[in-house]
Amino acid sequence: MSRSVRKSVLIRATPQRVWQHLVDPELLAGWLMANDFEPRVGARFRFTAAPKPPWNGELRCEVLECVPVRRLVYSWESDDLEGTTVVSLELTPEGEHTRLELVHEGAPSDDAATRHDDGWADHLALLRRQAEPPDDTEAETDWTRFRIHLLVDAPVAQLFEAWSTPAGWESFFIEMMQVRDARGHLGERTRTFESGDRYTIRWIHGPAFSGDIREVVPGRRVVFTFGEPVEVAVDVWALEDGRSVVRLEQFGMRDGLGPHLVHFANCRVWWGYFLVMLKARLEHELDLRDPVRTTAASLDFDFVPPGVEAARS
């Protein structure tokens, strides 16, 4: 007995706008797959994507019904399904929104139905995001702070250790870190930071400076100065699926063009880079940082590789 997948999504857009995302090949590719779709009954077309075994990455389809701004039906054949399945999409206006009802009939097994149920849920979420017009309200940019989140497939204890010990910082962030406690005693590389610690760091490309550890919440949070008056707060927590989240917030930055470039633009790019280095280290035990002092600063907004200007001239 065949199975059916049924989905319903409410989209904050007119039926005409949603319809265009169903029949325009470029808009359709944006939320679903590459295609050569034509909105006319009898038109044969293909969807193509990267293969995901047992699927070879190609779908063979034919338009069965096409009622503009109301209903679209097409067949759906692939090498991982037995026989032909059918996809029906129907639009109904609901006030300032449009209800999209999807039915995918003919899945030959529970496994096939589950895979297509998950797939449609993912792609319909993309459709809603792309079809809904952007919010016209423009929030004024707060140049004094920014926040970055990253998901890491590692225990939260490892994530906290990476942010709370000299050895952790050196594994993904800086080349050297020295930490002294409030009494001036030099700490071990594996010692967890404490509030009141004083640190000195040096990056691979040469710059060095000192700062203070302002707050440490074991297993959860580290706050440190990052050049006066700037501070950085790092929070980590675990998700139910076993992954962990790191949230980095830099704040206290001055306003003005210079601080915008140095603290907001430049620092945000650098933190994004080092968070990816952290992810590579914890998930794959890889150190992807550039170890060469003359090129390790390649993310600076004013960086020019040595010799490039001379070569151009």
Residue 240 host element (H or E) = none
110 and 215 both lie in a single domain: no
Indicate if 108 and 163 belong to the same structural domain. Answer: no
Stretch 65-71: mean pLDDT: 98
* Any domain includes 188: yes
Question: Does residue 9 lie in a domain region?
Answer: yes
Three-state secondary structure call for residue 145: strand
- Residues 78-137 pLDDT 10s: 987 878 999 999 999 999 999 999 999 999 899 989 999 999 999 999 999 999 988 765
Kindly state whether residue 136 falls inside one of the protein's structural domains: no
The C-alpha angle with vertex 217 and arms to 239 and 266, in degrees rounded to 5, equals 75
Print the domain residue range for 65.
3-131
Give the residue carrying structure tokens 């001055």. Answer: 254
In this prediction, residue 264 carries a pLDDT of: 77
Looking at the structure, tell me whether residues 68 and 197 fall in a common domain: no
- Whether residues 188 and 114 share a domain: the answer is no
Q: Are residues 40 and 82 in the same domain?
A: yes
pTM of the entire predicted model: 0.71
Asked, for residue 139, whether it belongs to a domain, the answer is no
| Residue 310 falls inside a structural domain | no
Q: What's the pLDDT tens digit per position in 40-60?
A: 999 999 999 999 888 899 999
187 and 120, same structural domain? Answer: no
Asked if residue 302 has pLDDT above 70, the reply is no
Does residue 170 contact residue 277 with C-beta atoms inside 8 Å? no
**Residue 313 predicted with pLDDT over 50:** no
CATH number at residue 114: 3.30.530.20
The total number of structural domains that make up the chain = 2
Residue 188, both tokens:
């071990």
Tell me, yes or no, whether 66 lies in a domain: yes
C-beta pairs of 100-104 under 8 Å, 24+ apart in sequence: 100/7, 100/8, 100/9, 100/10, 100/11, 100/18, 100/124, 100/127, 101/6, 101/7, 101/8, 102/5, 102/6, 102/7, 102/8, 102/9, 103/4, 103/5, 103/6, 103/7, 104/4, 104/5, 104/6, 104/76
Are 35 and 48 in contact by the 8 Å Cβ rule? The answer is yes
pLDDT of amino acid 38: 97
Q: Are residues 123 and 176 in the same domain?
A: no
C-alpha distances (whole Å) from 249 to each of 64, 79, 142, 167, 232 are: 52, 48, 13, 22, 6
